[in-house]
Amino acid sequence: MKVVLLVGGKGIRLAGEDAPVPKALYRIGGRPIVYHIMRSFAAHRITRFVLTLGYRGEQIADYFLHYAPFLQSDLRLELGGDGDLPHIERLGEGGESWDVTLAHTGLDSPTGERLRRVRDYLADDEQFIVTYGDGLSDLDPHELIGFHRDHGRVATVTVVRARSQFGHVQFGEDGSVGRLDEKPPLPGWINGGFFVCDHRIFDYLRPGDSLERDCLPRVVADGQLVARPHEGFWACMDTYKDGMVLEELWESGEAPWA
Is residue 99 included in any domain, yes or no? yes
**The predicted structure's pLDDT at residue 184:** 74
CATH number, position 54: 3.90.550.10
Q: What is the mean pLDDT of residues 175-184?
A: 80
Residue 258 lies in a domain: no
Q: What is the pLDDT of residue 144?
A: 98
25 contact partners, CB below 8 Å, separation of at least 6: 32, 33, 34, 56, 59, 60, 63
Report yes or no: 133 and 35 within 8 Å, Cβ to Cβ. no
Q: Which domain holds residue 183?
A: 2-252
Q: How confident is the model at residue 102 (pLDDT cuts 50, 70, 90)?
A: very high
- Residue 90, pLDDT > 70, answer no
Summarize pLDDT for 196-220 with one digit per residue, the tens. Answer: 999 999 999 999 999 999 999 999 9
Looking at every residue in the chain, the average pLDDT score rounds to: 88
Residue 125 lies in a domain: yes
% of the chain with per-residue pLDDT over 70: 90
CA torsion 253-10-118-40 (nearest 10°) is 0
257 part of a folded domain: no
Instruction: Identify the pLDDT of residue 123.
Output: 87
Distance CA 33, CA 51 (A): 13
pLDDT value of residue 79: 76
**What's residue 177's pLDDT?**
83
How much of the chain is helix, strand and coil, in % rounded to 5? 30, 30, 40
Task: Write out pLDDT tens, residues 65-74.
Answer: 887 766 666 7
Q: pLDDT band at 178, cuts 50/70/90?
A: confident
Per-residue confidence band for 258, with pLDDT thresholds at 50, 70 and 90: confident
Residue 13 predicted with pLDDT over 80 = no
User: Which of the four pLDDT bands, split at 50, 70 and 90, describes residue 31?
Assistant: very high
- Taking 70 as the threshold, does the pLDDT of residue 150 lie above it? yes
Is residue 124 included in any domain, yes or no? yes
Measured CA to CA, the distance from residue 33 to residue 24 in angstroms comes to 6
For residue 233, is pLDDT > 70?
yes
Number of domains observed in the structure of the chain: 1
